[in-house]
Amino acid sequence: MSGRYLGRLEARDPLYEIISAHVCPDVKDPRFHVTSTSSRSVYKYTEERTKLAIIGKFYDLHDSCEDRINRMKGEYDNLRIVRTYGFDSSPCYVVKPFDKSERIGLAVVEEYVHGKDLDHYLRRAAYEGRSDALKEKLGRLAFFFFMLHQKTATGERPNLEPVAMYFLRVVDKLWRQRVLSDGERKFFMRIMEKWFCAGILDRAPNVTVHGDATPTNFLFTDDGDVVAIDLERLKTADPAFDVSMVCGEIKHAFLWRTGNPYASEPFIEFFLKRYSRHFDDFKTTFRELTLRNPFYMALTELRIARNSYLDWHYRQRLVHEAKECLKWGLRLPR
């Protein structure tokens, strides 16, 4: 994890006592060096002598968005809950949370994991042709999701209302950003209704999903582990919410870097098959998953298109890909 060096954590800082107790309780007068990360609210603290490190995530105490605050406050408990499902050791686990403090806006103090994220391998595959390395990591990630979804299946069907609300929020934001025209906004609202009326999405099982399956939220260690971070969006939903989000991110990773809309297809198919093959009935699982995949994959493409750091024309291209994905999915034989 690279970042900008910010100096030493002062002993009078209330965080000092918290991380001292968890990182190096036996070290006298520990010295912590602070480094910023790619996220403005996440920092790495490294003890000078032992080199032990920890991550601290914060939220703005004056943030007016109650939903965002509550979501961040919940990550500590989410991590603890998922670890009780068996995700507390190799080869699949989530980072260990140590503490939190609402008094200082500390969402969670958690272990620091040495590893490269999925985006590292996506970049290498796109720029250097390192396809084998990417597929190996996608295989590991597919197993992680299989274990999470299998262990938490409720035997019920998912509630699709939150999915519809989220889809509409994403579309409305793109419209407010002028990425979507009035006509495109109406198109997405109409085609969402078609998907919900088609009876495709309500056939899914209901499981616990990571909820934010972006490439930077999964780390791969040298020991062969896959480690999940950022569980603030943990919830119950269709397993395709996770699996298809990865597929959408793969699509974006190659389209953004190469301009080729087809370069990602072998990796998307590989990931869907690797996930499905862990189930007893591979053919049925793969078929049902691929029927639902276009909806959630298109939602991911729209979600990514909200990012203002992306080129304007590229954001509109993502919107186009989402349109085609949704239309194509409705034409699949069921």
**pLDDT tens-digit readout, 229-258:** 999 999 999 999 999 999 999 999 999 999
Radius of gyration of the chain (CA): 21
209 and 249 together in one domain: yes
189 and 295 together in one domain: yes
Above pLDDT 90, what percent of the chain?
91
CATH number of the structural domain spanning residue 222? 3.90.1200.10
What are the distances in angstroms from CA 100 to CA 14, 18, 121, 217? 12, 9, 32, 20
The whole-angstrom separation of Cα 4 and Cα 10 is 18
Q: Is the full-model pTM beyond 0.85?
A: yes
Question: Which tokens hold the place of 196?
Answer: 């919900």
The whole-angstrom separation of Cα 171 and Cα 306 is 9
Per-residue pLDDT at 176: 98
59 and 131 together in one domain: no
Grade residue 37 by pLDDT with cuts at 50, 70 and 90: confident
pLDDT in tens, 314-329: 999 999 999 999 999 9
202 and 296 together in one domain: yes
324 and 235 together in one domain: yes
132 and 99 together in one domain: no
164 and 23 together in one domain: no
E strands, 174-223, where? Answer: 207-209, 218-220
Does the pLDDT at position 332 exceed 60? Answer: yes
120 and 102 together in one domain: no
- What is the full DSSP assignment across 285-323? HHHHHHHHHHHHHHHHHHHHHT-TTS-HHHHHHHHHHHH
Does the pLDDT at position 67 exceed 90? Answer: no
20 and 159 together in one domain: no
CATH number of the structural domain spanning residue 78? 3.30.200
Per-residue pLDDT at 23: 86
Could you write out the three-class secondary structure of 101-162?
A: EHHHCEEEEEECCCCEEHHHHHHHHHHHCCHHHHHHHHHHHHHHHHHHHHHHCCCCCCCCHH
Domain end residue (candidates: 67, 91, 111): 111
Grade residue 2 by pLDDT with cuts at 50, 70 and 90: low
29 and 151 together in one domain: no
Report how many domains make up the chain.
Answer: 2
Grade residue 226 by pLDDT with cuts at 50, 70 and 90: very high
Grade residue 82 by pLDDT with cuts at 50, 70 and 90: very high
211 and 62 together in one domain: no
Domain end residue (candidates: 91, 111, 131): 111
Mean pLDDT over 154-170 rounds to: 96
185 and 295 together in one domain: yes
Per-residue pLDDT at 333: 84
Grade residue 208 by pLDDT with cuts at 50, 70 and 90: very high
Q: Range of 52's domain?
A: 5-111
Does the pLDDT at position 101 exceed 90? Answer: yes
Grade residue 44 by pLDDT with cuts at 50, 70 and 90: very high
Domain end residue (candidates: 57, 77, 111): 111
Grade residue 39 by pLDDT with cuts at 50, 70 and 90: confident
Average pLDDT over the chain reads: 95
Cβ-based burial of 77 (10 A; exposed 0-12, middle 13-18, buried ≥19): middle
The whole-angstrom separation of Cα 330 and Cα 41 is 40
